[in-house]
Homo-oligomer: A and B are copies of this chain.
């Protein structure tokens, strides 16, 4: 069955964006240390990404206005807005759990969950995330948009491996 992976970066205190939604603090020490390109390895196993409207809007309006960054993937953008879908970008109104359950029934490579607590909270709660790939940025941000919201049940994890580069620690878990 297709694997569903939450692949995201957070500060040590659990934020994925500052209080204005900015992500310009998402980097390591910034020394001459070598960066490891773990993203390329990761994305190679994915053919689908699911994100919320805020992430989509930030990518298209701010981070990469000229070119859609996930052209090799099928992107699902969860929004109540009426927007025309294309082959590569599908705007959907369903809740994240319905989309993930439906996609897991189909053939394909991995499914990347790319979003903050409002999108991932129901997925975690329903046990729909198979793999957690969390990059811990070396900073205490102090405030902002949290990765994890409150859920009612504990999810026990199994550490698969860690790797560190340039002050960033990647923590890779599966569900126990």
Residues of chain B within 8 A (CB-CB) of A136 are 171
Contact B158 A29 (CB under 8 A): yes
A77 at interface (Cβ–Cβ under 8 A)? no
Nearest B residue (CB) for A167: B159
Contact A142 B150 (CB under 8 A): yes
Nearest B residue (CB) for A143: B150
> How far, in whole Å, are A104 and B139 apart by their CA atoms in the complex?
24
Chain A interface residue count, CB cutoff 8 Å, equals 35
Please tell me how many copies of the chain the complex holds. Answer: 2
Residues of chain B within 8 A (CB-CB) of A134 are 12
A132 at interface (Cβ–Cβ under 8 A)? yes
Known: A14-B13, A171-B12, A173-B12. A159 touches B138 (CB 8 A): yes
Nearest B residue (CB) for A173: B138
Contact A142 B151 (CB under 8 A): yes
Mark interface residues in A120-132 (1 if CB within 8 Å of B CB, else 0).
0000100000001
A162 at interface (Cβ–Cβ under 8 A)? yes
Residues of chain B within 8 A (CB-CB) of A13 are 14, 147-148
Contact B148 A152 (CB under 8 A): no
A157 at interface (Cβ–Cβ under 8 A)? yes
Output the least CB separation between A70 and chain B (Å).
26
Contact B152 A159 (CB under 8 A): no
Nearest B residue (CB) for A134: B12
A140 at interface (Cβ–Cβ under 8 A)? yes
Chain A residues proximal to chain B, CB less than 8 Å: 12-14, 25, 29, 124, 132, 134, 136, 138-143, 147-148, 150-159, 162, 164, 167-169, 171, 173, 176
